[in-house]
């Protein structure tokens, strides 16, 4: 019976491979052969390939789905030529910002590639530091949502108040921790395979180092700018990247605890140089075979997987309105202008520019869109507009140095209670109403607000041990005009 079942499954896999190859261009078939050669060399020869395990991070993005399709084609092609093929681990990190569309893209891609029932493939997800089988319909756990919300607030509140609010810094840190742990789980993996360009790799390392500084960890020693040094960097961080914010009992441990290897053997294999990077050439494979779906404007513009374009525009509008003394509309308009410049620099079709103008430049619909985006932030990130405004001002760090400015701008009625607020942050007893107001307006417990009170603010230039914040500092962290991720390349999981 087993033999009959194996024969039937092999026939299915051959059919999947043939259909998949039918969508490959000549250039993609050449890339496939180069990929197979690269994997064989990394494994120590084709006779060692059966003992070789590859990790592919799956975020549901256009590029991560494409990379997985290439790896699956390589795995099945080797199986037709050799007695065995390499093992594949597909892993997804669940964050509050992970959209339903992304999860459905992952599910459709894995279904089309027929990996769910293949014993040579593990399809996993991590929710609140627990490794689980991938399930696209399972909501993120309540504990996981709360943990991600707290991480976002704690790291966000450590920024210098008049620098851009980067709602994705905690995402870099969580993703880095995820890379390090999922590579050690269940006997580990031999290689992380990624199709990210070097500039994308650099952006991820830069974002990770920036988040490390805000998380209160020691600055890292000099590391390589790409993923070649990623695992050495993660080893230097340790297994808990948020420990300085919460202490030993702040977050759930990684689990199942007994299934993590003590030592990691993972190398990095970059395949960006052999992939076909023309989107038009990729599109039939993505849409017709994998069933990939995405809003075209977001697909072309969003270089950050942690927040949506609408959220980015909304934050810039709020920052203009409450911090810079302008109007919400002016902040969104400036964001749109920079976006259009970038779009035309990338020579994107004019119809996409028109879509961007319609999305962000129509005064008649801007108020409605603002309300929709505020609801999206509440639903996905767990932040009310009052809490987002509090985050914009970062009023607790540096012994509450920016508290008065925050109160005058957003809560003038609380100015009279400012001495009580300082006492509460110093751990002294105050009226219950004052403490409850602090919790409501910040989204944080008073104990953590007190922890922030004794921390200093962290500039976007920090976290670069052994490097000056001058000419060598990446341009995208030097000022607000370059801080939007739509002006840089997407990092994790592209």
Residue-level pLDDT, tens digit, the chain, 494 residues: 467 877 888 889 999 999 999 999 999 999 999 999 999 999 999 999 999 999 999 999 888 999 999 999 999 999 999 889 999 999 999 998 888 989 999 999 999 999 999 999 999 999 999 999 999 999 999 999 999 999 999 999 999 988 888 788 899 999 999 999 999 999 999 999 999 989 889 989 988 988 999 998 887 766 677 899 899 888 888 878 899 998 766 788 999 988 888 777 799 999 999 998 777 778 889 999 999 987 666 655 555 556 678 888 899 999 999 988 899 999 999 988 888 888 888 777 777 788 888 878 788 788 888 999 999 999 988 999 999 999 999 999 999 999 999 999 999 999 999 999 999 999 999 999 999 999 999 999 999 999 999 999 998 766 544 343 333 333 333 333 334 433 333 333 33
Picking from 294, 310, 342, the residue at the C-terminal end of a domain is 294
- Is 285 in the same domain as 423? no
CA angle at residue 16 from 10 to 17, to 5 degrees?
Answer: 90
Measure the CA–CA gap between 108 and 134, rounded to whole angstroms: 12
In a domain, 485, yes or no: no
Q: Which of 93, 111, 53 is nearest to 291 (CA)?
A: 111
In a domain, 389, yes or no: no
Report the relative pairing of strands 121-127 and 130-133 from DSSP bridges. antiparallel
Picking from 294, 325, 357, the residue at the C-terminal end of a domain is 294
The answer to whether the CB of 5 falls within 8 A of the CB of 68 is: no
- Is 84 in the same domain as 224? yes
Q: Is 0.85 surpassed by the pTM of this model?
A: yes
- Is 266 in the same domain as 360? no
Q: What is the pLDDT of residue 412?
A: 96
The answer to whether the CB of 372 falls within 8 A of the CB of 310 is: yes
The answer to whether the CB of 425 falls within 8 A of the CB of 130 is: no
- Is 251 in the same domain as 189? yes
Picking from 236, 266, 294, the residue at the C-terminal end of a domain is 294
In a domain, 123, yes or no: yes
At 404, list the tokens.
Answer: 């008065």
Measure the CA–CA gap between 66 and 342, rounded to whole angstroms: 24
In a domain, 479, yes or no: no
- Is 48 in the same domain as 166? yes
The answer to whether the CB of 165 falls within 8 A of the CB of 156 is: yes
- Helix ranges (H only) for 82-229 are 100-112, 142-156, 169-182, 198-214
Tally of structural domains, the chain: 3
In a domain, 459, yes or no: no
CA angle at residue 336 from 210 to 345, to 5 degrees?
Answer: 80
The answer to whether the CB of 91 falls within 8 A of the CB of 59 is: no
Measure the CA–CA gap between 127 and 123, rounded to whole angstroms: 14
- Is 420 in the same domain as 319? no
The answer to whether the CB of 163 falls within 8 A of the CB of 285 is: no
Q: Cα dist. 224→86, 216, 227, 417 in Å?
A: 28, 22, 8, 49
- Is 180 in the same domain as 315? no
In a domain, 423, yes or no: yes
Q: What is the pLDDT of residue 355?
A: 80
Q: Which of 122, 101, 39, 129 is nearest to 75 (CA)?
A: 39
The answer to whether the CB of 213 falls within 8 A of the CB of 397 is: no
Q: Cα dist. 121→54, 88, 106, 258 in Å?
A: 10, 5, 14, 21
Residue-number span of the structural domain to which 440 is assigned = 395-453
- Is 377 in the same domain as 424? no
The answer to whether the CB of 13 falls within 8 A of the CB of 79 is: yes
Q: What is the pLDDT of residue 480?
A: 36
- Is 209 in the same domain as 256? yes
- Is 285 in the same domain as 399? no
In a domain, 73, yes or no: yes
Q: What is the pLDDT of residue 295?
A: 64
- Is 227 in the same domain as 203? yes
In a domain, 476, yes or no: no
- Is 191 in the same domain as 318? no
The interaxial angle of helices 403-410 and 385-393, nearest 10 deg, is: 140
Q: What is the pLDDT of residue 3?
A: 78
């Amino acid at each position: 019976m087993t033999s009959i079942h194996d024969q039937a499954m092999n026939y299915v896999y051959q059919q999947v491979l043939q259909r998949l190859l039918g969508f490959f261009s000549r250039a993609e078939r050449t890339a496939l052969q180069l990929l197979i050669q690269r994997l064989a060399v990394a494994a120590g020869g084709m006779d060692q390939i059966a003992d070789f395990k590859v990790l592919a991070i799956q975020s549901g993005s256009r590029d991560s789905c494409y990379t997985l399709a290439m790896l699956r084609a390589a795995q099945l092609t080797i199986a037709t030529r050799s007695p065995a093929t390499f093992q594949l681990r597909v892993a997804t990190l669940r964050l509050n910002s992970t959209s339903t569309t992304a999860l459905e893209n992952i599910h459709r891609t894995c279904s089309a590639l027929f990996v769910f029932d293949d014993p040579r493939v593990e399809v996993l997800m991590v929710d609140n530091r627990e490794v689980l089988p991938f399930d696209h319909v399972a909501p993120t756990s309540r504990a996981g949502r709360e943990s991600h919300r707290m991480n976002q607030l704690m790291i966000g509140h450590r920024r210098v108040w008049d620098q851009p609010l980067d709602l994705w810094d905690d995402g870099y840190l969580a993703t880095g921790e995820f890379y390090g742990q999922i590579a050690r789980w269940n006997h580990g993996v031999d290689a992380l395979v990624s199709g990210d360009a070097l500039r994308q790799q650099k952006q991820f390392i830069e974002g990770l180092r920036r988040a490390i500084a805000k998380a209160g960890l020691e600055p890292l020693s000099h590391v390589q700018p790409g993923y070649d040094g990623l695992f050495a960097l993660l080893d230097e961080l340790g297994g808990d990247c948020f420990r300085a914010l919460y202490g030993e009992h702040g977050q759930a441990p990684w689990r199942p605890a007994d299934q993590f290897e003590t030592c990691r053997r993972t190398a990095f294999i970059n395949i960006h140089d052999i992939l076909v990077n023309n989107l038009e050439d990729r599109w039939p494979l993505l849409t017709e075979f994998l069933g990939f779906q995405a809003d075209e404007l977001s697909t072309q513009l969003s270089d950050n997987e942690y927040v949506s374009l609408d959220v980015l525009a909304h934050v810039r509008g709020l920052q203009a309105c409450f911090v810079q003394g302008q109007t919400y509309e002016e902040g969104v308009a400036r964001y749109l202008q920079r976006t259009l410049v970038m779009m035309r620099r990338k020579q994107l079709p004019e119809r996409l520019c028109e879509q961007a103008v319609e999305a962000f430049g129509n005064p008649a619909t801007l108020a409605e869109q603002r309300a929709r985006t505020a609801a999206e932030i509440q639903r996905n990130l767990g932040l009310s507009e009052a809490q987002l405004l509090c985050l914009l001002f970062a009023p607790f760090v540096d012994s509450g140095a920016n508290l008065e400015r925050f109160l005058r701008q957003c809560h003038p009625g609380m100015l009279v209670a400012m001495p009580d607020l300082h006492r509460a942050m110093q751990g002294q007893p105050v009226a219950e109403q004052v403490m409850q107001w602090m919790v409501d307006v910040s989204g944080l417990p008073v104990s953590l607000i007190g922890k922030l009170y004794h921390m200093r603010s962290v500039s976007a230039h920090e976290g670069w041990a052994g490097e000056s914040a001058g000419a060598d500092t990446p341009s995208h962290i030097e000022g607000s005009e370059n801080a939007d991720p739509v002006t840089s390349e997407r990092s994790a999981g592209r």
